[in-house]
Amino acid sequence: MQPIRIEEVQKALNRFANQDVYLHLETTNGAYASHHNEGFFAAGAYIRNGRIRFSRAKIAGNGPYRVGLKLDLGWVYAEGLTDWEVTDKGQLLLAGHDYEGKLAVALQLSDEPF
């Protein structure tokens, strides 16, 4: 993956608008966060291959970045995004890596199921 370039990511997001696409969205502190630090409140969520359709997509911020996707009846949102990649299959991968290189958030779009 490469550090996010906002104009290029915006173009890549636009390509998925107004059609059924598959979403991978995750956020996590890691399964050991509360084991290593008992005062830490671990939380996370993920959805894999959620089928969505959005009419509008925008990347915002000065890095780390935020992305919002406007659905017919709601929103998809992620913050803390740092890196991006378009795979050979044309999938858009966005991820946020912390200061140790650990994935903290991911937002990915694909024409086909992941």
Residues in contact with another protein by the rule CB under 8 A:
1, 24, 26, 28, 30-32, 35, 38, 46, 83, 85, 87, 91, 93, 95, 97, 100-104, 106, 108, 114
Q: Residue 38 or residue 72: which is nearer to another protein going by CB?
A: 38
- Integer Cα distance of 60 and 63 in angstroms: 8
CA angle centred on 45, ends 13 and 58, rounded to 5°: 20
Q: Residue 28 or residue 70: which is nearer to another protein going by CB?
A: 28
**Is the separation of the CB atoms in 28 and 46 below 8 Å?**
yes
Residue type present at position 6: I
Q: How far is the CB of 48 from another protein (least distance, A)?
A: 8
Q: Residue 49 or residue 55: which is nearer to another protein going by CB?
A: 49
The span from the first CA to the last CA of the chain, in angstroms, equals 17
